Homo-oligomer: A and B are copies of this chain.
C-alpha cells in the first residue's frame, strides 16, 4: 500500500484499469470454473475406473494423467513467479488474513513428510524396474519436484491479490486446485484399496495381522515381479505409513489455492492486524487444565499405540478401553467449557462485526466444512452401535464417544463463529465514545441505547484488571485450544480406533467403512488444526 500512496499518478491510472478489468472478469471466472470441473470429473472417473476395473485402466494410466497435470501446474507456477517478480505492479495488494502461519507451517510439515514418502516410493519401485513400468518411478520423481515447487509457490504467494492477467491467473489457480484435489482423490483411493486388500478380513482376524499386513500385501500384489534389492519391503511399509500426510498436504494446498482464487481482483484496504498484546499471565486455570489434559492424553496415546499391537486380546481391549475413556473425558470437558463460553457470549453485549470480510467468511466456511468429516464418521458409528444394540462396555463407550463428539463439534463451531464475529474489546472502548456522539447527532431519538451500552463497557473493561467475563472467556479459549491440539495429535500420528474396534467394519463391510474413514479423518485432522488457529484468534479479541 505504501508504494501506491507515494506514486499518486501511476496508482490512479492503475486503479481505473483494475476496476475496468474487474467489470469484464465474468468470462475468466466462468472459464476457470469450467476447466476445474472438467479436470476434476475426468480425474474422478479415471480414479474410480482404476479402482473398480484394474484390467482396462491400471495405476500406470492414472499416473500418466497425474504426471501431465503436475507438469502443467508446475509450468504455470513458474510462469506466475517469473511474471510477478518482473512487474511489481502485478501484485500490489496482499490479503493479511490469507495464508496464516498455521496453514503455511502445516503445509511445510506435511510437504516434508510427503517428500519422504516420494523418496521411499522411488527407492521401492527402482527395485522393480526390471519387470514393472518405469512410470511407477517417474511419478514419485515428478511429484517430489512438484511438492518443492508448490510449497515454495504457496509459501510466498498465498497472500497475493492478483490484479493483472486475472483471467489467466484464475485458470491457473483452478488448475492448481483441481490437480491437488485429483492427487487427494487418488491418494485416498489407493490408501483405501491398500487397506482392503487384506485377504478375507474376518472379525476374528488377529489385530496385529491387520496392522502388520502391509508387508504381506505388498509382496502379495507382485508375486511374479521380485524386488531386486533387499530393503524393498521396509521402504514399502514406510511409504504406506506416510500416505495420510500426503492426503493432508493436498487438502492444505487446495484450501490455500481456493483462497488465492477468491482473492483475485480484490482491492484490499490497509487492514493491518491491530497489534493486540498477548498477556499469558491473564489466564491460569485454562492453560493448567489444558496442559494436564494434553499430557494425560499423550500418555494414554503412547500406551494405546504400544498395547494395540500386542497379540493378546485382553491387552488390546484394555488399550481401547483407556483410549475411549480418555477421549470421552476430553470431549466432555470441552463440551462443558464451550457451554460456559457460549453463555458468556450471551451475557456480554459486544456488537457483531458488521463490516464485510470475505476472507473471514471463507475461513469460517472451511472450518465448518472440515468439521463435516468427523461428524460423518461419528454418525456412522452411532448408527452402527445403536443398530447392533451397543452390547458390551466397549460398544457403549464407543457410542458415547461418538455422541459426545457430535455435540462437541456443534458447540465448538458455534463458539468459534460467534467469537470471531464479535468486535474486539479494545476497539470497543475507543470506538464507544465516537460512535456514541455520532449516533446522537444522527438519530437523537436513539441516544438512550448507546449511552447505556457505553456505560456498561467503560464499567466492565478497565484496562488494568480484566473483567471476570473476559477472563473466563480467555480461559475457555486456551483450554479448548490445548484440548484441540491433543485431539489433533492422536489421529494425526496413527491412532485408528475406527479400525481397531471391529463393530463398524462388521456393520458396513470393510470397503465402505475404510472409504468413510479415509475421506472423513483427514478433514477431521484439518479441522482440529484450523480450530487451534481460530481459537487463538478468538482469545486475542476477547
Contacts and interface: CB of A to CB of B under 8 A. Distances in A.
A382 B413 CA distance: 41
B31 A414 contact: yes
Interface stretch (A32-40, A98-106, A477-485): A32-40
Nearest to A512: B52
B512 A23 contact: no
A351 B26 CA distance: 11
Q: How many copies does the complex hold?
A: 2
Interface in A326-372: 351-352, 354, 368, 372
Contacts of A351: 23
A383 interface: yes
Interface in A400-415: 406, 410, 413-414
Interface stretch (A41-49, A213-221, A234-242): A41-49
Contacts of A512: 48, 52
A67 interface: no
A499 interface: no
A375 B44 CA distance: 11
B507 A33 contact: no
A63 to B, nearest CB: 15
B38 A406 contact: yes
Contact of A53 (B24, B372, B508): B508
A372 B37 contact: yes
A380 B414 contact: no
Nearest to A58: B387
A68 B111 CA distance: 47
A14 interface: no
* Majority SS at the chain A contact face: helix
Residue with the greatest number of chain B CB neighbours at <10 A, chosen from A30, A42, A46, A376:
A30
A57 B23 contact: no
A193 to B, nearest CB: 14
Nearest to A446: B16
A318 interface: no
Given A24-B352, A26-B417, A388-B56, A383 B34 contact: no
A252 to B, nearest CB: 23
A421 interface: yes
Nearest to A417: B30
Given A26-B352, A37-B375, A56-B507, 12 more contacts: A16-B446, A30-B417, A33-B368, A37-B372, A38-B379, A44-B379, A45-B379, A48-B380, A52-B507, A53-B509, A56-B387, A57-B383
Interface of A: 16, 23-24, 26-27, 30-31, 33-34, 37-38, 41-42, 44-46, 48-49, 52-53, 56-57, 61, 351-352, 354, 368, 372, 375-376, 379-380, 382-384, 387-388, 406, 410, 413-414, 417-418, 421, 446, 507-509, 512
